[in-house]
Amino acid sequence: MQQYISQLNEAQREPVLQKDGPMIIIAGAGSGKTRVLTIRIAYLMHQGIDAFNILSLTFTNKAAREMKNRISDIVGSSEAKNLWMGTFHSIFARILRSEADKLGYPSNFTIYDSQDSLRAISGIIKEMQLDRDVYKPKQILSRISTFKNSLITVKAYFNDPDLQEADAMSKKPRMGEIYQNYVDRCFKSGAMDFDDLLLKTNELLTRFPEVLAKYQNRFRYILVDEYQDTNHSQYLIVRALSDKFQNICVVGDDAQSIYAFRGANINNILNFQKDYQGVKTFRLEQNYRSSRNIVEAANTIIDKNKTKLDKVVWTANEFGPKIKVHRSLTDAEEGRFVASTIFEQKMQNQMTNGQFAILYRTNAQSRAMEDALRKRDIPYRIYGGLSFYQRKEIKDVLCYLRLVINPKDEEALMRVINYPARGIGDTTVEKLTVAANHYKRSIFEVMQNIDRIDLKLNSGTKQKLNDFVTMIQSFQVINENQDAFYITDHVSKKTGLVQELKKDATPEGMAKIQNIEELLNGIKDFTEGQREIDGARGSLAEFMEDVALATDLDKDTSDEDRVALMTIHLAKGLEFPHVFVVGMEEDLFPSAMSMSTRSELEEERRLFYVALTRAEHQAYLTYAQSRYRWGKLTDSEPSRFIEEIDGQFLEYLTPAESNYRFKPMIDKDVFGDVDKSKLRLAKPLSTTPPKYITDNQPKPEAQIRKLKPVSANAPSGAANLFDNKLTAGNIVMHERFGRGQVINLEGVGADKKAEIKFEVGGIKKLLLRFAKLDIIG
């Protein structure tokens, strides 16, 4: 143990040795906070604290797992496995399962992910016959989420005239009813959404003092990582649990608080000293991760924020290269810059793919990057976005499994009751829903009793309903004795899901089947892993317990060498030698939706701080002057954040903007999705396309479009000569597409196009001014 402690610097050692009482560690980026937390926990155990008495809350499951592994290395795995370590959501889901009966929930309650919640809300709005344009499901859901995270129950809502008035003012007078219906519907389904996991924990601890006492006594030492991103609900749980022993250690960095949009309250960390008596404060300010240039540049950014704790991050590392700033004309070109830079760096400095990360503000930006990387044959992995477990085909399987565990789960039932199609249509489902509401039973219960209630269903439909019930029940029987892998494999076959997918022979369809195979492999791993755990048998219930809480970050098992692509939010806590922060543009980063208030802008700035401090050695900031946004080419200005960095830390790779300012030469409404970078550089009628285009080998179609005219009276070349000669029926030869026959001609003058059916590659429309065609017959 001593050797681990002696490896720490002074500032790190102090909080490790501070055993009791409330304490806060303000940890700058890259200051070794995970290390401090790990060693602190190990040291607590070394001093005789039972692992059962330590609760450690992290921000992601992955962080928990990694920390647990590191602790195992120090104290041995048999000791470490008893630690309570995980996210708020997963830890309290576990506690709620064992205490569920007190709240009237089954212990096998379902956890609704945001998709489920949204569908439930949409359904309610439809049932209430409200206007979906006024009551936008997404908005409603996020409002309900805000309520729950602030512990505003339905009852509290109706006791608060201000809230009701606010909703009435925004033309949503029935907000409260929707909230009520949503809560009822979840309860009836035996389901909790993400926010419920925290809200119900609070309810449990408040309403049942003996339960509170039990967990207070159990968790004598509590550690909370990323405390700056806790919300009010989480804050109250921590307060309640730590109240008796006051051995609470929170770790965080106010400069890295980036989740206010989902209710995180930065004041939790700013005010921690006031919440407990005799708080000891520790600061970790030495950065071990990044070069001096990056650390100091990041400091100049965060200095712009007013709301912050007193802290100066510094480093003893070497200066390193300056931050490189690159401007490009389009998002596609930005992608090419990133890809070719990675390519060159790998060549020149023997770097691996895994040493690069591409970070962006929005998931939609990944596409341009993916395209560019693919063309360079650089392997990559995208994190986040639509997670694996939310893909349609996976979700379908999971919903059948959810029904096996909890047949009251209405969202699951609605999703699969007629998929694959089995003749149970909207009308029937409608009748079932009405009956369920009438009898105050779940839809599944109504279906079980379908022969005893008169719903004016014809016998064929009744038979289909009975078949469905029988099928689910047969799964339940099998589930009693078999493990999660067996039942999942069985379900995916017996429900016809796999056969359904096999009908689709497209690459997308094949990918779906592969995804299901991947799911099965994952479950196989899980069941085998569970066998090693005491008392677990790898059952479906064990697997389903927290799939809703699993993210892609958690199933990152492959150790393949790939470039990482992810949002900045997802990158928090990670580090890479080379980091590209792309899309450094106004309205994108900072986001157009986060510039109305100072605090929103400050959060964006913290987000930028997080992005930059992920880099160990080299950071790149790139921006494009125009990019595709919702399908349209839009112009953009460089992000203010670039200017906010002291110029001494930057190296501009592209000439100053004023010399190069691109003036659109064409009306983009007329030419649609014209790629400006090509327009500027393309010599319209050169015999070969510009070199970089051939390098990248775009699809033929794409190239045609990219070579559209610079102006309506562009110089004409050989192709132009065909204007009048070419007629439908001609056999022509094209440089790239080969032999084909003209089917049709349309347009006049410069816009004249020929529709040509090529022997290879099908029918294409070519602008005659550009198409290099030889008439051969």
Partner DNA sequence: AAAGGGGGGATTTTT
Partner DNA sequence: TCCCCCCTTT
Q: Are strands 731-734 and 738-746 parallel, antiparallel or unpaired?
A: antiparallel
* CB of 214 or CB of 367, closer to DNA: 367
378 or 549, CB closer to DNA?
Answer: 549
- Count residues contacting DNA (CB under 7 A)? 51
DSSP for residue 101: G
- Residue 464 assigned ligand-binding role: no
Spatial neighbors of 153 by CB under 8 A, at least 6 apart, are: 147, 199
Tell whether residue 30 is among the known ligand binding residues. Answer: yes
How far is C-alpha 198 from the geometric centre of its chain's CA atoms?
A: 20
Q: Determine contact, residues 361/588, Cβ cutoff 8 Å.
A: yes
Q: Which of 228, 461, 527, 639 binds DNA (CB under 7 A)?
A: 461
User: Residue 201, interface with DNA (CB under 7 A)?
Assistant: no
Near DNA by CB under 7 A, which window of 6-14, 57-65, 334-342, 739-747? 57-65
> Contact between 418 and DNA (CB under 7 A)?
yes
Strand partners of residue 480: none
* 31 labelled ligand-binding: yes
34 is catalytic: yes
Q: Is 421 in the site for DNA (CB under 7 A)?
A: yes
To the nearest whole angstrom, how small is the minimum distance from the Cβ of residue 608 to DNA?
Answer: 12
Based on the number of CB atoms within 10 Å of its own CB, is 771 exposed (0-12), middle (13-18) or buried (19 or more)? buried
User: C-beta of 280: minimal distance to DNA in Å?
Assistant: 29
Under DSSP, is residue 231 helix (H, G, I), strand (E, B) or coil?
strand
362 binds DNA (CB under 7 A): yes
Closer CB to DNA, 262 or 374, in the complex:
262
- Residue 196 or 254 with smaller CB distance to DNA: 196
| 703 near DNA (CB under 7 A) | no
Cα–Cα distance for residue pair 541/98, rounded to 1 Å: 14
Q: Is residue 171 involved in binding DNA (CB under 7 A)? A: no
Residue 748 in contact with DNA, rule: CB under 7 A: no
Q: Least distance (Å) from DNA to the CB of residue 299? A: 23
Residue 614 known to be catalytic: yes
What is the number of other CB atoms lying within 10 angstroms of the CB of residue 595? 14
Q: Whole-number minimum distance, CB 4 to DNA, in Å?
A: 29
Q: Judge whether 543 and 523 are in contact, CB under 8 Å.
A: yes
Q: Crossing angle of helices 175-188/114-127, nearest 10°?
A: 120
C-alpha of 720 from chain center: 50
Residue whose tokens read 């064929």 = 460
The 10 Å CB-count burial string (b at 16+, else e) for 443-477 is: bbebbbebeeeeeebeeebeebbeebbebbeebee
Task: Please say if 256 is a catalytic residue.
Answer: yes
> Does an H or E element contain 567, and which?
strand 563-567
Instruction: Considering the candidates 225, 254, 333, 410, report the single residue annotated as catalytic.
Output: 225
Among 214-222, 358-366, 407-415, 746-754, the segment contacting DNA (CB under 7 A): 358-366
* Closer of 284 and 582 to DNA (Cβ): 582
Give the nearer residue to DNA in terms of CB position, either 215 or 383.
Answer: 383
Q: How far is the CB of 188 from DNA (least distance, A)?
A: 21
Dig out the tokens for 696 from the structure.
């990248």
The stretch near DNA (CB under 7 A) out of 30-38, 53-61, 300-308, 474-482 is 53-61
Give the span between the Cα atoms of 308 and 270, in whole angstroms: 8
Annotated binding-site residue? 672: no
How far apart CA 516 and CA 514 sit, in angstroms, is 5
- Of 49, 151, 212, 364, which one interacts with DNA (CB under 7 A)? 364
How many C-beta neighbours within 10 Å does residue 277 have? Answer: 9
Q: Indicate the residue among 322 and 627 with the shorter CB distance to DNA.
A: 627
* Contact residue for DNA among 549, 584, 633, 674 (CB under 7 A): 549
Give one word for 15, left, alpha or beta, with left for phi > 0 and alpha for psi -120 to 50. alpha
Of 273-281, 330-338, 486-494, 623-631: span binding DNA (CB under 7 A): 623-631
The binding track of 242-281 with respect to DNA, each residue x by CB under 7 A or -, is -------------------xx-------------------
Nearer to DNA, 454 or 534 (CB): 454
Q: Rounded to the nearest whole angstrom, what is the least distance from the CB of residue 702 to DNA in the complex?
A: 8
- 614: tokens are 């992920």
Q: At closest approach, how far in Å is the CB of 427 from DNA? A: 4
Quick check: 16 and 8 in contact, CB under 8 A? Answer: yes
Burial of 344 (0-12, 13-18, 19+ CB in 10 A): exposed
Whether residue 634 lies in the annotated active site: no
Nearest C-alpha neighbor of 253 from the set 34, 419, 430, 431: 34
Nearest distance from residue 589's CB to DNA, in Å? 9
Taking residues 84 to 103 in sequence order and writing x for each that binds DNA by CB under 7 A, - otherwise, the string is: ---xxxx-------------
Residues 286 and 314: their CA atoms lie apart, in Å, by: 5
Rounded CA separation 53/245 (Å): 11
Give CA–CA dist 57/68, Å, rounded. 12
711: region left, alpha or beta (phi > 0 left; psi from -120 to 50 alpha): beta
Structure tokens at 600: 């929103």
29 is in an annotated binding site: yes
Provide the mask over 645-684, with x wherever binding to DNA is found by CB under 7 A and - wherever it is not.
Answer: ----------------------------x-----------
Report the residue from 101, 133, 162, 669 that binds DNA according to the rule CB under 7 A.
133
Helix (H) or strand (E) holding 774: strand 773-775
Residue 357 binds to DNA (criterion: CB under 7 A): no
Binding residues: 27-34
Binding residues for ATP: 27-34
List of residues contacting DNA (CB under 7 A): 59-61, 87-90, 113-114, 119, 122, 126, 132-133, 136, 138, 194, 261-262, 361-364, 384, 387, 418, 421-428, 461, 549, 551, 553, 566-567, 569-570, 591-594, 628-631, 673
Catalytic residue numbers, as ranges: 33-34, 225-226, 256, 614
